[in-house]
Amino acid sequence: MQFSELTPQEFDQFTRAHFSHFTQTLNNYNLKKDAGVETYLVGVKDNGKVKAACLITLTPVMKVFKYAYTNRGPVMDYSDKSTFDVFFEGLTAFLKPKKVVYVRVDPYEVIKERNHEGEVIKDMGNRYIFDYFKALGWNHTGFTRGFDPVVQIRWHSVLNLENKNPKTLLNDMDSLRKRNIKKAQKNGLHLRYLELDEIDVFRKFMKDTSEMKAFIDRDDEYYISRKKHFGDNVLIPLVYVDLEEYNDATRKDRDQLVKNIDKAKKGLEKDPSNTKAENKIKNLSEQLRNIEDKLAEGEQLLKAHGRELPVASSYYFITPHEVVYLAGGSANEFRHFAGSYLIQWHMINHALENNIDIYNFYGISGNFTPEAEDYGVIQFKKGFNAKVLEYVGDFIKPVNGPAYAAYKNLTKLRTFIGR
Where is average pLDDT lowest: 205-209, 322-326, 375-379? 205-209
Per the CB < 8 A criterion, the answer to whether 388 and 145 are in contact is no
Q: Report the alpha-carbon distance of residue 239 to residue 183 in Å, rounded.
A: 14
Q: Is the pLDDT assigned to residue 413 strictly greater than 70? A: no
Q: Report the alpha-carbon distance of residue 133 to residue 83 in Å, rounded.
A: 13
Q: Is the pLDDT assigned to residue 124 strictly greater than 60? A: yes
In 3D space, the residue among 41, 93, 146 whose CA is nearest the CA of residue 393 turns out to be 146
- pLDDT, residue 188, reads 78
DSSP 117: T
DSSP 298: H
- pLDDT, residue 144, reads 95
Q: Is the pLDDT assigned to residue 167 strictly greater than 60? A: yes
Per the CB < 8 A criterion, the answer to whether 38 and 241 are in contact is no
Q: Is the pLDDT assigned to residue 171 strictly greater than 70? A: yes
Q: Report the alpha-carbon distance of residue 325 to residue 331 in Å, rounded.
A: 18
Q: Is the pLDDT assigned to residue 156 strictly greater than 60? A: yes
Provide the pLDDT confidence category of residue 408 given band limits of 50, 70 and 90.
confident
Taking only the tens place, the pLDDT of each residue in 277-302 is: 778 888 889 999 999 999 999 999 99
Provide the pLDDT confidence category of residue 149 given band limits of 50, 70 and 90.
confident
Q: Is the pLDDT assigned to residue 261 strictly greater than 80? A: yes
Provide the pLDDT confidence category of residue 409 given band limits of 50, 70 and 90.
confident
Provide the pLDDT confidence category of residue 399 given band limits of 50, 70 and 90.
very high
Start-to-end Cα distance in the chain = 46
Q: Report the alpha-carbon distance of residue 165 to residue 157 in Å, rounded.
A: 19
DSSP 198: G
- pLDDT, residue 157, reads 98
- pLDDT, residue 340, reads 94
Provide the pLDDT confidence category of residue 164 given band limits of 50, 70 and 90.
very high
Query: What's the whole-number mean pLDDT along residues 100-111?
Result: 98
Q: Is the pLDDT assigned to residue 415 strictly greater than 70? A: no
H helix count then E strand count, the chain:
13, 18
Taking only the tens place, the pLDDT of each residue in 330-381 is: 988 998 899 999 999 999 999 999 999 999 999 999 999 999 999 999 999 9
CB neighbours of 161 closer than 8 A, spacing ≥ 6?
169, 348, 351, 352, 356, 357, 358, 359
- pLDDT, residue 213, reads 62
Provide the pLDDT confidence category of residue 412 given band limits of 50, 70 and 90.
low
- pLDDT, residue 271, reads 77
Query: What's the whole-number mean pLDDT along residues 93-117?
Result: 98
Query: What's the whole-number mean pLDDT along residues 37-58?
Result: 98
- pLDDT, residue 185, reads 85
Query: What's the whole-number mean pLDDT along residues 110-114?
Result: 98
Q: Is the pLDDT assigned to residue 212 strictly greater than 70? A: no
Q: Cis check for the bond before 398: say yes or no (omega within 30 of 0).
A: no
Mean pLDDT (the chain, rounded): 93
3-state secondary structure of 173: coil
DSSP 196: G
Q: Report the alpha-carbon distance of residue 77 to residue 85 in Å, rounded.
A: 12
Q: How many CA atoms lie within 13 A of 94 on its CB side?
A: 23
Query: What's the whole-number mean pLDDT along residues 210-239?
Result: 88
- pLDDT, residue 419, reads 53
Provide the pLDDT confidence category of residue 276 given band limits of 50, 70 and 90.
confident
DSSP 96: G
Q: Is the pLDDT assigned to residue 119 strictly greater than 90? A: yes
Per the CB < 8 A criterion, the answer to whether 34 and 22 are in contact is no
Query: What's the whole-number mean pLDDT along residues 185-191?
Result: 85
